[in-house]
Amino acid sequence: DAGVIQSPRHEVTEMGQEVTLRCKPISGHDYLFWYRQTMMRGLELLIYFNNNVPIDDSGMPEDRFSAKMPNASFSTLKIQPSEPRDSAVYFCASSSGGENTEAFFGQGTRLTVV
Amino acid sequence: ILNVEQSPQSLHVQEGDSTNFTCSFPSSNFYALHWYRWETAKSPEALFVMTLNGDEKKKGRISATLNTKEGYSYLYIKGSQPEDSATYLCAAYNFNKFYFGSGTKLNVKP
């Protein structure tokens, strides 16, 4: 398996535009996580899915943020409209669940909103 | 939300020095504790997954211990090398979620 794949790696957009980040988890992993990395808060969990169903979205900062997982191999995180304070690195991770599970991270998407 | 704290925030050591950092987490409802290594411009990679009180794990020059009763874990690096420079994250795993600390950034000078 190629690991968790995120796209794009870098995104620069203007304030007010819609941004869509994409993630392909490792095949067979039942859990998918979206994290945001900032200097102030470190790795912040935004939302996670189990078997494609959103379980906990309490970390999603505002209604401008939404996430979907239409099937087991694809998830999106959308920001509409984007704001400069959304600039951060967004990571997707997947895991198989269970006691000895670990999180496998994608390479991240560096988002800059100008 | 589980509050996971790491110290120190950053550390600068000379090549050959041994070093250690701390991760503290709530001891109630403990399930598992993870250590990750995060190199600049890369993504975090798991070093250790520990579940039992008193667990000790080792990978080369890096080792970790776990005390679930008092809610802490130590990560040790023996004879630090420049390639050990990275951010070391710990995460409490519970309720199917990973709660990450803010990390300890290690810089090993040659």
Return the pLDDT at A1.
66
Written as six digits, the tokens of A8 are 């794009």
What distance in Å separates the CA atoms of residue B59 and residue B48, rounded to the nearest whole number? 8
- The residue length of chain B stands at 110
Residue B15 to residue B82: CA distance in whole angstroms: 6
**What pLDDT is stored for residue B95 in this prediction?**
82
Contact B96 A97 (CB under 8 A): yes
Q: Write out chain B's pLDDT in tens, 110 residues.
A: 678 999 999 999 999 999 999 999 998 878 899 999 999 888 999 999 999 999 999 999 999 999 999 999 999 999 999 999 999 999 998 888 899 999 999 999 99
What is the mean predicted confidence (pLDDT) over A45-63?
93
Q: Residues in chain B whose beta carbon is closer than 8 A to a beta carbon of chain A?
A: 31-32, 34, 36, 42-46, 49, 51, 89, 91, 93, 96-103
Positive or negative torsion for Cα B20, B61, A91, A47: negative
Of B32, B97, B103, the CB nearest to A99: B32
Give me the pLDDT at residue A97, please.
85
Least CA distance to A31: which residue of chain B?
Answer: B96
- CB distance B49–A105 less than 8 Å? no
CA distance B35 to B38: 10
Q: Do A48 and B97 touch (CB under 8 A)?
A: yes
B49 contacts A102? CB cut-off 8 A: yes
Average pLDDT, chain A: 94
pLDDT of A99 strictly over 80:
no
Distance, CA of B49 to CA of A45 (rounded, Å)? 19
Tabulate helix, strand, coil % of chain B (nearest 5).
5, 55, 40
